[in-house]
Amino acid sequence: MRQTRRSWLKGTGVALFGTAVAGCSGAFEDDESGSTPDTDGDDQSTATATATETGSAGDKETATEPDPTDIAVVAEWNAIRTRLRDPVILGHGEEFAAGASVAADIFERFEKASGEHNAHETLEETNETYYAGFEEGLADLRGALEAEDLDGAHEAMHAADEHLRKAQGALAGSEAVKPLSMLVMGAHVADAALLASIGDFSDAAGEFTQIGIKFDEKGMGEMLAGADTEAAEAFTDAVDRAAAAAEDEDAAAVAEHAGAAFDAVTGGSYSLLPETVAGVAHLGAIQARGWDAAALASLGGPGTDFAHAATLATYRARVHDAAWLYERGHADAAKTRVENVFAHFEGARAHEALEDASEDAYHRFEDDGLGALTTAIDEDDADGVAETVETTDAALVEGVEALGSGVEPALLEAGYFKARVEDALERYRLGEGAVAAETVRGLFETFEANEADFHETLEETDESLYETFEEDHLDGLVTAFEESDDAAVEEHVTGIREALLSFETAVGSTAQVSAVESAYMSARVFDAGVLDVVGESERAASVVESTFAHFEAGAGGFHEALEAADHDRYESFEAALDGAADAAGEGGDVTERARAFDDEAIEATYAVVGAAGGSYSAEATAVVQDTFAHFEEARVHDMLEEADKGVYEEFETALDEYASALESGSDVDAAAERFGTAAVRAQFAVGGAPGAAPAGDSETGGEEPDLEGGPNVVEGVPDDADHVVEMRAVAFEPAELTVEQGDTVAWKHAAGEPHNVVAYADELPDGATYWASGGFESEDAAREGWENGQGAVQSGQSYVHTFETAGEHEYFCVPHEAAGMVGTVVVE
């Protein structure tokens, strides 16, 4: 048992949370009560009452003398609990992509926490069930928002919150939880004000009303009134006024009253908790308030519908590739291409979006387009193939126009033009100069017809650039193809690439340009697949290499934007592109690798679009400025300054720099991270343990132990893998896979911390050889090996196994087994 008395506890003579708070019996009746935590299964903690009676509480002491580091961590969990509301609030405002991005950011920050007393490690040590449940809930929150499932997002948020709340009770004592939950609710008032900031007054009013109701129903009003009547009345009045202001669509008044509610709750907490504890918790609430600004700043970029439109743009290029293969005499490969597009669309997020945006375009694409195109290929109807390609393309253009807004359809049209010019160039290199010329001539006619408003947008943006594109290069390329002038062809293709990229960056945001470039790169890698089929493997390799070089050169800001938006996705995107390059260079299945890369490219688009922002920088700046003003007048201000002058100055500097970054729109994410780290250090300083504060987040999650994979863990995904299972943060995708005897499965690290793959020994079919990453010969050895850093599959790696024995093979990931990371391979 740890001895935890600190100087700041001297003279109290009582447990930090050992007495009931004012206005409460000490045993709360509802789900926010913080009542004695569950002690089910392998929980590593016990209830406070048990700890008091026996002097032991598993891994953590929670009775009479809690550690200041524990109190700081409990406050950090409270900040996370408050942040969990942000993605859901964004979902209410129909900003689902932004909400999913915020959920991902919370998860990433939690996973990468470093230092001995960080929120991640302490939660896992306190109770493995709560830890696993929190991570699973957070992963489900992101997934629900990506699926635009608001009910599912609410359910997942509450699940994650409940596990953190129970952990707070286990670590700090049950009496702490209700006041902490009150602070979460107070900060949630500020969250609801975000809806008014983005013009969603109706949902804002509804949230304020619900907060008022829950504040009373959960006994928080009575609790606060028993300790500080003035604070309780001020909170209730402020929430009512905020609701009324939202109904009047007065955003400034909403912000003012939400701030007053926050002031009332944080001020009132000092009457409910010992001063030091209240101060630490107050800083956690201020931290959460600061993160609201980051959530608000993430809005204003292109919406999810634009990402859907970009997905449709990738289909345009793929359909033309199918026609190319058909014309070259590869009807089976052409048909497969069309079927693959259909299959992808059926499972894509863009599927329902297109149906909702334009039912006509949806049916023309699926039925009159893809379905008819498959039939035409089957019947070897060349005219029918050409006609249905046009029908399919027209339906997709209609869909892009229905889903995109402003300049977005024109931007995607520019990317399509680049892809089709590249197609023409490849046909020319294959000796099909007439076909290449006809392709570009068709583009010229499409441009003149102002499809997707591309012609007029380009001309209005920059008349000189317009003339360079159309007169100097597009028209000149037709002649160059007809005359077989290699030098002129190269000159005009390069000119078109440069002109269109200049147009993209001139009219589009970085996120919009990234989506266009992602679709263009996907089209190029699919071109490599076509070239491979027609026997041009060297050229296929060159195409993929040039695509990689384009990305590394920046791709209009796409490279940096993807890395900043989702580092794991950035790595998997590059790994997939590298896999396509390997397949092209080593005689592998380039088409299959192109499909894998296309999946990554589409997800990269959603990631960058979801993380984009820009229109609400003023509102976000105001949030941080108001937070700074609140801190300056708060009781905890002097407490922090007295506790540690250096940490105090660091915190104020971080707040100031955060506001400046939001105002300028530069380095916002980095400034937010610095603020978050400074807030955590402030929490530890006020708690009395400044030297124990975590060092801050790191790119690698702190100093990781030395890990090794073993003989069956490889870099990338092998070309001979018949199936790929992605290892996400706490899940295998797909969780169940059916294969044939002799098939090879690769488990690819796709997200989260390092994983491993371990078969359940008792669940293997009779006669099956035991299998696990690291090459272990038993489940016990594999579990022990993981503890020693063996059998790990890290970012960019895969575990590979070939199945020879029929039956069901059940398996799991050791570090994430408690979170439900299990899977099954059915061998037929």
Write out the two tokens for 106.
């919370």
Residue 499 belongs to some domain of the structure: yes
Last-in-domain residue among 390, 407, 424? 407
Residue 38 belongs to some domain of the structure: no
Domain residue limits at 208: 7-15+43-49+61-300+615-692
Q: What is the pLDDT, as a whole number, of residue 68? A: 83
Q: Are residues 295 and 312 in the same domain?
A: no
* 282 a catalytic residue: no
Residue 25 belongs to some domain of the structure: no
Last-in-domain residue among 407, 440, 470? 407
Residue 777, domain CATH: 2.60.40.420
Is pLDDT of 166 > 70? yes
Q: Are residues 354 and 477 in the same domain?
A: no
Is pLDDT of 55 > 50? no
With pLDDT > 70 as the criterion, what percentage of the chain qualifies? 88
Cβ burial 270-293 (10 Å sphere, 16+ → b, else e): bbbbbebbbbbbbbbbbbbbbbbb
Q: What is the pLDDT, as a whole number, of residue 702? A: 39
Find the mean pLDDT for residues 725-753. Answer: 87
Find the mean pLDDT for residues 808-828. Answer: 87
The model's pTM: 0.53
Write out the two tokens for 409.
């359809």
Q: What is the pLDDT, as a whole number, of residue 818? A: 62
Q: What is the pLDDT, as a whole number, of residue 31? A: 43
Pick from 34-38, 617-621, 683-687 the range whose average pLDDT is largest: 683-687
Write out the two tokens for 204.
């804002």
Is pLDDT of 814 > 70? yes
Q: What is the pLDDT, as a whole number, of residue 613? A: 55
Q: Are residues 390 and 413 in the same domain?
A: no
Sign of CA dihedral 607, 610, 615, 618: negative
CA pair distance 597, 544, nearest whole angstrom: 11
Amino acid at 518: S
Q: Are residues 626 and 748 in the same domain?
A: no
Residues 659-704: tens digit of each pLDDT: 887 876 556 777 888 999 999 999 999 998 888 777 554 333 334 4
Find the mean pLDDT for residues 462-481. Answer: 94
Write out the two tokens for 274.
């010992």
Find the mean pLDDT for residues 700-724. Answer: 77
Q: Are residues 461 and 581 in the same domain?
A: yes
Find the mean pLDDT for residues 230-242. Answer: 96
Residues 590-600: tens digit of each pLDDT: 999 999 999 99
Which segment of 374-383, 411-420, 614-623, 674-683 scores lowest on mean pLDDT? 614-623
Which segment of 37-41, 51-55, 107-111 scores lowest on mean pLDDT? 51-55
Residue 626 belongs to some domain of the structure: yes
* 813 a catalytic residue: yes
State how many domains the chain has: 4
Residue 24 belongs to some domain of the structure: no
Q: Catalytic pick from 559, 755, 801, 809?
A: 755
In the block, tokens 């003149």 appear at: 448
Is pLDDT of 242 > 60? yes
Is pLDDT of 22 > 50? no
Q: What is the pLDDT, as a whole number, of residue 620? A: 87
DSSP secondary structure string, 39-98? --TT-S---HHHHHHHS--TTS--SSS--HHHHHHHHHHHHHHHHHHHHHHHHHTT-HHH
> Model confidence at 313, in pLDDT bands (50, 70, 90)?
very high
Residue 454 belongs to some domain of the structure: yes
Q: What is the pLDDT, as a whole number, of residue 614? A: 52
Q: Are residues 234 and 308 in the same domain?
A: no
> Model confidence at 39, in pLDDT bands (50, 70, 90)?
very low
Q: Are residues 651 and 776 in the same domain?
A: no
Q: Are residues 342 and 442 in the same domain?
A: no
Q: What is the pLDDT, as a whole number, of residue 787? A: 85
Residue 705 belongs to some domain of the structure: no
Find the mean pLDDT for residues 1-7. Answer: 25
Q: Are residues 342 and 316 in the same domain?
A: no
Q: Are residues 387 and 430 in the same domain?
A: no
Is pLDDT of 261 > 60? yes
> Model confidence at 341, in pLDDT bands (50, 70, 90)?
very high
Is pLDDT of 706 > 90? no
> Model confidence at 40, in pLDDT bands (50, 70, 90)?
very low
> Model confidence at 147, in pLDDT bands (50, 70, 90)?
confident
* 821 a catalytic residue: yes
* Mean pLDDT value across the chain: 86
Contact 127, 157 (CB under 8 A): no
Last-in-domain residue among 662, 692, 722? 692
Which has more pLDDT, 166 or 727? 166
Cβ burial 764-794 (10 Å sphere, 16+ → b, else e): beeebeebbbbbbeebebbbebbeeebbbbe
Q: What is the pLDDT, as a whole number, of residue 662? A: 80
Q: Are residues 572 and 467 in the same domain?
A: yes
Residue 96 belongs to some domain of the structure: yes
Which segment of 166-180, 509-523, 525-539 scores lowest on mean pLDDT? 166-180
Q: What is the DSSP letter of 797?
A: E
Residues 293-309: tens digit of each pLDDT: 888 877 766 777 889 99
Residues 209-233: tens digit of each pLDDT: 999 999 999 999 999 999 999 999 9
Q: Are residues 461 and 552 in the same domain?
A: yes
CA pair distance 356, 382, nearest whole angstrom: 33
* 188 a catalytic residue: no
Q: What is the pLDDT, as a whole number, of residue 10? A: 26
Find the mean pLDDT for residues 400-425. Answer: 94
Q: What is the pLDDT, as a whole number, of residue 61? A: 35
Residues 755-766: tens digit of each pLDDT: 999 999 998 999
Q: What is the pLDDT, as a whole number, of residue 28? A: 26
